A and B are shown apart, each in its own frame.
Chain A
């Protein structure tokens, strides 16, 4: 088991408080209510360490990632959420439907809608 470098760990720890959210729904909500500066700061800090972070997390079986490591995984997943905004230089896409209006389903059969 190879540990994260101190440098990578310190970056993740700084950002895990804000971005280390357990679900996709929470991460997109966090993105939408963030400023572009907050998003860019997070992205720029994390990006140089992403390869190392993924290598580190891949040492665990997904089902047995220890609780104290989970926030690192969630923070890494949040990078997928901010990837497009960084490219767009915009928190949301003006040509897009409100992504918060795309409600996560719990199963194929979860079709009912509470407005």
Chain B
């Protein structure tokens, strides 16, 4: 790894994917939406959880995609292996667990008639089994869902035979990032969820381009990060990680509030002020720009619905799920490598979180307005600068899935 310590920043995007306008109908069209459900959400790897949250045998969580009526159980077996199953009893389809997480004692028992499944999904017991004419228990285990792990995160794929392994899918992220993100010390600390009246892709767009920061976030972060100090790039040929960006502080920071400066004394999680505290995080020093004096974070678009932000001592993750062409479920989750020990560190987390919340609130307001204008037909094409090149890469990836799906 070539560690960047000098002050030269990478290029500010590119025109490699063309300069033409892109159609906006893929944010509003019902047919396109249904095709995305069928060909994107049913074919791609989706981040659903964290390995460390399933520490012991029987620990489980559920994952739902309401637009597809999909419910999945992810559970650690007695053999230590984490597996995913459709949350559906093979008797008549009852949902076996209704909680979002918990620990199963021994196995999974259907609440309707008591069919019992092992943590490995095998059907173990059927009450009054002799009353079924020709039941082959060996073939009536829970239906398996493809599952794999990257950097401590669990991904599932609704395709029984995914076109790419997760390793191939996320290959551009590299081994050094796996070591950093995969550190078992990362602990979930906070999150928000909301229903947003926009297409599910629009909040992603807002997190992968920095062009809007200077003006769109003029009331929040643009004192400390600007379009000019956001450096996007694309990964040609990668489906799983179409692109990413590096965020740097400007050479001269804008005016800081006294509270922001106070918080910065105790940690790095306030994104936009220069942290005074040093963190010792596993493999942090090996990240490409971590030694750069102005580096804030790296963002990665994990196709199709996740943006992973990696910084010193903090990860934050935005995920969206479609509810309709015009509405999505939006979530943001924070992980920290160190649990606050002193109040100052908690103060730093709180201040950083509120700053990010207010920035995100600006993004969400904007994407809701965009949705109305696309939906009304007022804007049928969008103009994209080279700073927004990831949106172009994202569009091409979506389009590839939809077109391949329609030709099957």
Contacts and interface: CB of A to CB of B under 8 A. Distances in A.
Given A79-B259, A96-B362, A60 B219 contact: no
Contacts of B368: 97
A95 B219 contact: yes
B78 interface: no
Contacts, number: 145
Interface string A68-110: 0000010011011101101110000101111101111101111
Contacts of A109: 49, 53, 61-63, 100-101
A87 B257 contact: yes
Nearest to B192: A102
Contacts of B62: 109
B344 A54 contact: yes
A73 to B, nearest CB: 6
Chain B contact-residue range equals 35 or more
Nearest to B354: A80
Contact of A24 (B100, B350, B361, B365): B350
A83 B355 CA distance: 9
Nearest to B345: A62
B207 to A, nearest CB: 14
A103 B193 CA distance: 5
B329 interface: yes
B270 to A, nearest CB: 9
A79 B344 CA distance: 13
A36 B343 CA distance: 27
A51 B266 CA distance: 12
B365 A95 contact: yes
A103 B361 CA distance: 12
Nearest to B358: A84
A115 B365 CA distance: 18
Interface residues of A, number: 42
A7 interface: no
Contacts of A57: 342-344
A110 B257 contact: no
Contacts of B357: 99, 102
Interface string A24-52: 10001000000000000000000100110
Contacts of B331: 105, 111
B362 to A, nearest CB: 5
Contacts of A93: 219-220, 358, 361-362
Given A83-B354, A84-B358, A96 B342 contact: no
Interface of B: 49-50, 53, 61-64, 100-101, 188, 190-196, 219-220, 257-260, 262-263, 266, 321, 329, 331, 333, 340-347, 350-351, 353-355, 357-358, 360-366, 368
29 contacts: A47-B258, A54-B343, A57-B342, A60-B342, A60-B343, A61-B341, A61-B342, A62-B341, A73-B343, A76-B347, A77-B350, A79-B259, A83-B351, A84-B355, A84-B358, A93-B219, A93-B358, A95-B366, A96-B361, A96-B364, A96-B365, A101-B195, A102-B193, A103-B192, A105-B190, A105-B331, A108-B50, A111-B100, A115-B195
